[in-house]
Amino acid sequence: MATISDVATRAGVSTATVSRALNGKATVDPELAGRVLAAAEELGYRPNGPARNLRKQETAVLALIISDVENPFFTAIARGVEDVAHEAGYSLVLCNSDDTPDKEREYVDVALQERVAGVLLSPTGSPGTAELLARHSTPVVAVDRPLPDRASDTVLVDNRLAAKHATLHLAGQGYGRIGCLTGPSGVPTADDRLAGYRDGLRAAKLPSSTSLVRRSKFKADGAQQAAHALLRQNDPPDALLVGNSAMAVGVLEALAALKLKPGRDVGVVAFDDAPWTTLLDPPLSVVAQPAYDIGALAARLLLDRISGDREETSTTTLSAHLVARGSSTR
């Protein structure tokens, strides 16, 4: 009796493509579907009834697990994912992990129980999540950060280069003691932004000191405390590179409390171009990331993986760009 592997070999596709073609999935290329159907007919292949019924329980739903739903960067990613998913006939479930491994694992468990077709994940760094998805053969694409210790399709931004350019911009505006507020140690985006900041200082031949660096969660309250600590030193920074827009809120609160004005007293550049950044006086200089494009590309990669049209994993690194405004220009 012919097996699904026999059909895949005859048609020159993966077994996943055979399964989806025989179940009428719209994401399978029509030419591939035709080859699969012809091969199945030639070999007299008949799907196993119970197994086919189990596979049919897979829902036309994608799960997106992000670290902070309040962060405009991640909501823009979600919009890009949703637009592509909806066009392909899939629904999207949005989950917020709060950058907590236990919460991430809970949402992955739910996604597996609900038999989602695939998962898009901004990883917390817990290797257990990737292993769990692999054990269940659930397609996954990592966004913003790579999966730890496991190859997967991944869509990233070159945070290190972007942070370097932002630091060089501040140096070019005449700031000579530039500080950095970044996220927790071990989070790839936080570490890359710190490394890029140090690259920029070296390139500008400016001093680098641990006293100019603070880490906190990617949240406003932690950044406010960190900014206070930096700015109340005996020799405080005259400019700050800030890890994301949520942290920027905390930094601006700290500046206001200390009666310091961005752009006049302290130069400020923050990652992520949130809608409110142009409403400030002066407007906030930002490193704009292509968040929507990250989501859209990640969704297309996942749909290709679901349809069986992708075999090798890939990492796509997009570029961010500096938008200089009044908070950093002199």
* 57-156+291-318 CATH: 3.40.50.2300
* Whether residue 282 has a cis bond before it, omega within 30° of 0: yes
Pick the CATH number of 4-47 from 3.40.470.10, 1.10.340.30, 1.10.260.40, 3.40.50.1860: 1.10.260.40
* 159-289+322-328 CATH: 3.40.50.2300
Same fold, 4-47 and 159-289+322-328: no
Q: Which helix (H) or strand (E) holds 316?
A: strand 315-318
d(CA 302, CA 148): 18
Mark out the alpha helices in the chain (DSSP H runs).
4-11, 15-22, 30-43, 49-56, 72-87, 101-113, 127-135, 159-172, 188-204, 220-231, 245-257, 291-307
Angle, to 10 degrees, between the axis of helix 4-11 and the axis of helix 30-43? 120
d(CA 118, CA 22): 19
* pLDDT by 10s per residue, the chain, length 330: 677 778 889 888 887 778 778 776 666 788 888 898 898 888 888 765 444 443 445 578 999 999 999 899 999 999 999 999 999 889 999 999 999 999 999 999 999 888 899 999 999 988 788 888 888 889 999 999 999 878 899 999 999 999 999 999 999 999 999 999 999 999 999 999 999 999 999 999 998 999 999 999 999 999 999 999 999 999 999 999 999 999 999 999 999 999 999 999 999 999 999 999 999 999 999 999 999 999 999 999 999 988 887 778 999 999 999 999 999 998
Do 241 and 181 touch, CB atoms closer than 8 A?
Answer: yes
Domain boundaries along the sequence of the chain: 4-47, 57-156+291-318, 159-289+322-328
Q: Model's pTM, two decimal places?
A: 0.80
d(CA 26, CA 89): 8
